[in-house]
Structure formats: structure tokens, C-alpha cells
């Protein structure tokens, strides 16, 4: 069957649907509290037991003990959404606009005992790749840090996608996260011998040093495991754009060079030339929230003759680079110097990587600008954002899916499971499908041409 699309019509309809989508977002925000209360009232243990008795229809899901941890998958064709199918978008929007269909698993339902671990793993982590990965991938273990504050279902689903037996995972739960979240995460990760909690949990405040410190705590803990080759730092609000096999292929091409964003020409002087401090700032309802504010005090110039380079909090860092970060005096001095800057996570890695005189392992050797990197796809609004822009960053929605399909980056930032569960589900499905295959890297040439691999 073949049909042609009237592009103007499609565009107008898209605008209509976007309007509908924003209306939905509004409704969602207005009712999210009410809905949360409702969902925590559901008596899940009761449901499991009673339906186990009644439900004799050979549905194997109904036999599962952890059935109540099964995410709600919406009945959409992700394939059609990726292919810009107008009717499928219409259908997906209808699902999203129905509040009753936005069920998520309450955090406190992740209550797995040690004795239940093998059942839990066999029910929830039972893809072939969860047991054994290919020989090649086993020779190339990866390490991950995962920073999170809330939404355990999203954490479990992220883990489900990136978990491999040969890798290592350090989870940092913010120290001010709710006790339910911490308890739930602990109950999940006790079932895996290659996943652990950060030995020290920070209270992570937006744009402050604590964000960088949280990653550093995890990376320090990860050094105990000698086999991993690269560490990738990931937030709970991200999803991979590549499978583990693809990550291994790409990072093998990178042969120890770091994949770190760096923008020599973007200067954000305010952030590092003035001292920033955390002040308790009053909010409307008689509360105080800690907030980072600029003082008038000028900072001294950075140590070691380095030039501050603006980059990203996220990257793919070689093991030798992380060893350097932890042991080199200049890395330590720069870290101390950065404590009272704005968002030091966005200059620390880049500055160590791009100042060639530091000779950091895997660092940038060429002098060309602009540079390139592949660690993250973040839409800062340079491209159309069809989800919601929060703090300048696009939180992806279903209309962003076609744009996520063939990207070169390793991970995409950001997703909120509760804001658009269908966008989440569909990227999940794509990566899961690809994880079942072991296809050649179709864009290997792109990675081989990264300037950081070329001789200076």
C-alpha cells in the first residue's frame, strides 16, 4: 500500500497535536499529585494473590511473583511512531491524554528480599544478554555511574537496558532522596554482585560542586574493579542510544581516547571568574531553599596555567584518564579551585582533557577547534523540541522519536518517564530489539573520523 502525504496538512495537524500535547502536559501537572495518591492506594499484594487464584488462563505473567513490578507498556506501534505515522501519533496522544493509563510502579513496591533475588532476576532480568554477553563484549567491560534522586521504576528500566554481567555499576542516590527510594534501590541492587551503592552519598544541588563530587565518589569506588576500560556517567533521566555491543565497538575504535565535550570558543566568564556560594533563599511559602548565587568576589586564576574549557557533565572516560584525575596533583588542585564555581561538572572534565600541556591520558592532542564528541545527545533547543523544555533542555516526547532513531551519540538526555511514558517505552524497545542482534556498526567510519583520534 502506498500513500502520499500532504506536507502542509501534516504540519498543521502536527501543530494541532502539539497544542493537544501541551494541554495534556498541563492536565498531567495539575493532577499528578492526585494520581500519585491514587496509585499508592492500590493493594498490590492483594491483587497478586487474588488474581493468581482466579486467573487460570495460562498467562505466564500471572504466575510471576513480581508481576506488580512489570511496567505498564502502552499498546502503540513504536515502529510506526519512528516512521512518522500520523495515525499512530494520534493514537499515542489519546493514550497519553487518558490519565488512567499513566500508571507507574510506586517506589515502595520495589521490596525484594535477598532470598527472592534469583526469582526477581529471572522474572525481570531475563533477556539473553542479562546472562551472558558475547566473548568480545566480555573482553571489554564497561563501568557506569548512575546518579539518581527519584523514580525507581525509571531506574530499574534503565538498568534493564544497560545491565550486563561483565560490567560494573555504581549507583549514587542523593542523600536527600526519600527513604523509600533509597530502600527500593538497595533492594534491587543487592541482587547483583556487580552493582553497588556509592560509598558516600552527596546532597546534590543544581549547578553546584556536589554534582561533580557524586560522580567522583562513584568513580573512586569503581577503581576497585580492575577490568573495566571506560567509565560512562549516566543520569537516571537518560537512555542509551546504543546497545552494549555498539558501545564496545565504538569505544574500541576510540582506543583509550576520551570522548569529552569541549568548546574552546564558548566562554562563560561569570561561571568561573567569580566566587559562587550557596545561600538559603526564601520561597513564596515561607520556606528556605539553598540556591547557588554569584558573589562580587573575583576568583584567582586557575592552577597549572590551565585554560578553563566549557564542556559537559557527561562523557566516556578512559580508565587511565580517571586514574590521572584521582592521582595527579594538578587535577586535585583544579578540583579544589572549582569548588566555588558555577557548575564545575561542566568544565572539570573538559579542562583536564583539552589542555594539551597536561598530557592527560586519552586527552586531546590536536589543536583544532571546533572539536567533536559523541557521548551525549542533548537538545538545548537548537533543534525543534517536541517534548518540554526544562532548564533549557528538551525532555523528549513522542514527536522526538524519529529524530532519536539514527543518531551517533551514545546516550540521550533527558527523559521523564511520567511526562511521556510512550517516548520512553519506544526508545527502550528500539534498544532492546537491537540488543538481541549483533549487527555490524553501520556508521563505524563516523567514529573513526573523530578529530580526537587524529594525529595533531
Ligand X SMILES: *[C@@H]1O[C@H](CO)[C@@H](O)[C@H](O)[C@H]1NC(C)=O
For ligand X, the binding residues (CB under 6 A) are 41, 43, 46, 78-79, 82, 94-95, 98, 101, 108, 111, 113, 370, 372, 429-430, 433, 449-450
Cβ proximity to ligand X: between 24 and 324 the closer is 24
- Asked whether the beta carbons of 229 and 251 are under 8 A apart, the reply is yes
By C-beta, is 79 or 118 nearer to ligand X? 79
In angstroms, give the least distance from the CB of 234 to ligand X: 22
Residues 84, 386: Cα–Cα separation, whole Å: 13
Closer by beta carbon to ligand X, 13 or else 372 = 372
Q: Is 390 in a helix, a strand, or coil?
A: strand
Q: How far is the CB of 264 from ligand X (least distance, A)?
A: 12
- Residue (126 or 301) nearer to ligand X, CB: 126
Nearer to ligand X, 39 or 328 (CB): 39
Could you tell me whether strands 411-413 and 238-240 are parallel, antiparallel, or unpaired per DSSP bridges?
A: antiparallel
**Cis before residue 370, ω within 30 degrees of 0?**
yes
Q: Any idea which residue has 498531567 for its cell? A: 28
CA dihedral over 129, 131, 133, 134, signed as positive or negative:
negative
Task: Report how far apart the first and last C-alpha atoms of the chain are (Å, whole number).
Answer: 53
| 52 contact partners, CB below 8 Å, separation of at least 6 | 62, 63
Instruction: Give me the residues paired with residue 413 across strands.
Output: 238, 378
- CA 310 – CA 326 distance, rounded (Å): 21
Nearest approach, Cβ of 449 to ligand X (angstroms)? 4
Minimum distance from residue 450 beta carbon to ligand X (Å): 6
Cross-strand pairs, 390: 393
Smallest distance, Å, CB 222 to ligand X?
A: 29
Which residue, 150 or 333, is less far from ligand X as judged by CB?
Answer: 150
Report the alpha-carbon distance of residue 59 to residue 199 in Å, rounded.
42
- The least distance separating ligand X from the CB of residue 253, rounded to whole angstroms, comes to 12
Closest to ligand X by CB, 41 or 280: 41
Q: How far is the CB of 146 from ligand X (least distance, A)?
A: 23
Amino acid at each position: 500500500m502506498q500513500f502520499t502525504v500532504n506536507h502542509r496538512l501534516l504540519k498543521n495537524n502536527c501543530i494541532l497535536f502539539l497544542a493537544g500535547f501541551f494541554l495534556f502536559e498541563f492536565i498531567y501537572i495539575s493532577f499528578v499529585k492526585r494520581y500519585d495518591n491514587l496509585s499508592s492506594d492500590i493493594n498490590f499484594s492483594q491483587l497478586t494473590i487474588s488474581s493468581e487464584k482466579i486467573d487460570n488462563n495460562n498467562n505466564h505473567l500471572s504466575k510471576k511473583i513480581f508481576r506488580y513490578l512489570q511496567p505498564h507498556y502502552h499498546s502503540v506501534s513504536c515502529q510506526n511512531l519512528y516512521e512518522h505515522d500520523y495515525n499512530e501519533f494520534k493514537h499515542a496522544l489519546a493514550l497519553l491524554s487518558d490519565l488512567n493509563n499513566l500508571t507507574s510502579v510506586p517506589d515502595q513496591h520495589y521490596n525484594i528480599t535477598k532470598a527472592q533475588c534469583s526469582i526477581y532476576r529471572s522474572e525481570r532480568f531475563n533477556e539473553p544478554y542479562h546472562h551472558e554477553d558475547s566473548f568480545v563484549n566480555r573482553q571489554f567491560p564497561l563501568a557506569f555511574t548512575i546518579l539518581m534522586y527519584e523514580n525507581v521504576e525509571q531506574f530499574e528500566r534503565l538498568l534493564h537496558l544497560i545491565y550486563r554481567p561483565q560490567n560494573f555499576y555504581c549507583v549514587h542516590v542523593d542523600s536527600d532522596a526519600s527513604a523509600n527510594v533509597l530502600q527500593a534501590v538497595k533492594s534491587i541492587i543487592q541482587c547483583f554482585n556487580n552493582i553497588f551503592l556509592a560509598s558516600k552519598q552527596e546532597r546534590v544541588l543544581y549547578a553546584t560542586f556536589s554534582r561533580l563530587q557524586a560522580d567522583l565518589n562513584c568513580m573512586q569506588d569503581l577503581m576497585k574493579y580492575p577490568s573495566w576500560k571506560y567509565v560512562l556517567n549516566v543520569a537516571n533521566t537518560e537512555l542509551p542510544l546504543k546497545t552494549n555491543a555498539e558501545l564496545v565497538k565504538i569505544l574500541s575504535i576510540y582506543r583509550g581516547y576520551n570522548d569529552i565535550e569541549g568548546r574552546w570558543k564558548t566562554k562563560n566568564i561569570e561561571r568561573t571568574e567569580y566566587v559562587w556560594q550557596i545561600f538559603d533563599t526564601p520561597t513564596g511559602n515561607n520556606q528556605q531553599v539553598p540556591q547557588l548565587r554569584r558573589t562580587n568576589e573575583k576568583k584567582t586564576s586557575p592552577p597549572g596555567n590551565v585554560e578553563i574549557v566549557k564542556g559537559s557533565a557527561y562523557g566516556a572516560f578512559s580508565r587511565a584518564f580517571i586514574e590521572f584525575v584521582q592521582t595527579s596533583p594538578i587535577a586535585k588542585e583544579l578540583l579544589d579551585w572549582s569548588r566555588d564555581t558555577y557548575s564545575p561538572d561542566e568544565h572539570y572534565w573538559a579542562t583536564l582533557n583539552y589542555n594539551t600541556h597536561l598530557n592527560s591520558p586519552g586527552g586531546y592532542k590536536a589543536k583544532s577547534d571546533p572539536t567533536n564528541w559523541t557521548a551525549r545527545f542533548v537538545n538545548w533547543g537548537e533543534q525543534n523540541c517536541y517534548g518540554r523544555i526544562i532548564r533549557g533542555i528538551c525532555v523528549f516526547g513522542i514527536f522526538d522519536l524519529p529524530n532519536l532513531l539514527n543518531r551517533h551519540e551514545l546516550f540521550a538526555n533527558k527523559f521523564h518517564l511520567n511526562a511521556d511514558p510512550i517516548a520512553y517505552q519506544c526508545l527502550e524497545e528500539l534498544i532492546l530489539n537491537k540488543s538481541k542482534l549483533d549487527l555490524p556498526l553501520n556508521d563505524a567510519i563516523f567514529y573513526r573520523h573523530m578529530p580526537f583520534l587524529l594525529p595533531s
